[in-house]
Amino acid sequence: MKVLVTDKVSEKGVTVLQQEFDVDIKNSLSPEELLEIIPQYDALVVRSETKVTKAVLEVAANLKVIGRAGVGVDNIDVPAATAKGVIVLNAPDGNTIAATEHTMAMMLSLARNIPQAYRSMKEGKWERGKFMGVEMREKVLGVVGLGRIGSGVAKRSLAMDMKVIAYDPFITAERAKDLGIELVELDGIFARADFITFHLPLTPETRGLVNKEVFAKMKKGVRLVQCARGGIIDEEALVEAVKEGIVAGAAIDVFAKEPVDPENPLFALDNVIFTPHLGASTKEAQVNVAVDVAEGVATALRGEPVMTAVNMPPVPAVVMKFIQPYLRLVEKMGTLAVNLADGRINNIEVTYNGEISEVDTKMLTLAAVKGVLNPMLQESVNYVSAQSVAKSRGIVVKEVKSKETQNFANLITLCVVTDKGEHKVAGTLFGQQEARIVAIDAYRVDARPKGCLLISPHTDRPGIIGRVGNILGDNNININSMQVGRSEELGQQLMVLGVDTLIPDDVLTRIKQVEGILGGKVVNFNGLSD
């Protein structure tokens, strides 16, 4: 078999591949050159420079696996690869230590004003009094996101005698206790933390997570460390928070736009320090990701299970043909359920009724878990890792099967149990292709899981839906669909409104204040394939 390496990766990774396969190294190929030569290769190894587009995949007649020497796969058309049966894998662990240590370096530099003092001395000055720092010992560190990197930062900070509090809805209280960490809500971190470090993915929900309103909640004199993804912190709001004295300093490695505009107003602030996205830039990390991805590619070419696959692993064709349409449905059901849920998740139970109960549904259950976990985790959860990620957070995953049809030929019910209650979402396919949500908790509905949905329980009386519609209309938010489900048991109704754009927090707050409205959640399915 033949392997093509098109970006610069460590020689140690190339050596791993050369032990079993013919390897060609062709860096800096143009898109046209890649299209011309890709048909002869069984595997492709890239970093971030090479763009593996749908057009490339369409002509890649022999391609079986694409390996990304790094974490993100934004430069690879993963849906197109999946449709062609091409495995896409990455190296999610290779740069964990590098990113963890860089976060610690940024935090220490921020506490002791090291970059500013260095610059002053380079200018021939001796300004000891100007760069008075603070100790980290006994300070409260707030960690937002306890994935691989967040947990690593927490562990090292505890060793420095910091008090660590954390927010992560996918870590159980028992697991946090084992780590020596106190779990709190986001507002608890903002109110108590002396230092805050962010370790979240950039999603529609986390973009602009730290904004003007959030800065107003923070403890005065807080110091922020941002080595996760650019865009999580509103940079304009950060500038104002620094000027107002709310934020004593910030250390930033990632930006909303990269490379950074030299005129970025953050650069005018002496108590904000920067690095140019160096979190994964160590010699060891580059070797680690190259070796990890090479071993994954070799495993895939041998036809063995790949633990770092970011798309669907191979399944028997007959099973795939049956479950394929349900994979998208159950992932969206997971996304819906986790958006409705409050508290920390303890259990995920998936019940299969009808004909579907007679086939192997493990892949569907993993898709449901993937849908539950992905909206809030920094690392991407895939079909292979979903089970282990859930287990590491103390979440119990269970399948239940019954041939009883319950008015549908096939019905899937997902139940998410938290320490504050549970939420159920039931779904099926109409015509074996069209996904439908047919129940939410005690309410019978008929909703398409696509775009953005406003889901709001309310008392069963006239006028409420109209008032909600007026609020949306006043804010130029168009309603494209509407469903109302009734619960005879509760004597309440549930409105499910499809809208063209995300509903801002202030508009959602106004909706919740309407008399008779009993709550409201916005669920964003954009980014999930239909």
Enumerate the active-site residues.
229, 258, 277
Whole-number Cα distances in Å, 239 to 11, 119, 218, 454: 43, 21, 15, 33
In the chain, % helix, strand, coil (3-state, to 5) comes to 35, 25, 40
CB 441 within 8 A of CB 392: no
Interior/surface letters 201-224, b for 16+ CB within 10 angstroms, e for the rest = bbbebbbbbbbeebbeebbeebbb
Give the residue carrying structure tokens 């004295």. Answer: 245
Interior/surface letters 74-85, b for 16+ CB within 10 angstroms, e for the rest = ebbbbebbbeee
Q: How far apart are CA 514 and CA 499, in angstroms?
A: 19
CB 449 within 8 A of CB 332: yes
Q: For 287-356, what is the HEC assignment?
A: HHHHHHHHHHHHHHHCCCCCCCECCCCCCCHHHHHHHHHHHHHHHHHHHHHHHHCCCCEEEEEEEEEEHH
Sorted by sequence, the CB contacts under 8 Å of residue 499 that are 6+ apart come out as 451, 452, 453, 454, 472, 477, 478, 479, 480
Structure tokens at 487: 């619960």
Query: Furthest-apart CA pair in the chain: how many Å?
Result: 81
DSSP 29-88: --HHHHHHHGGG-SEEEE-SSS-B-HHHHHH-TT--EEEESSS--TTB-HHHHHHTT-EE
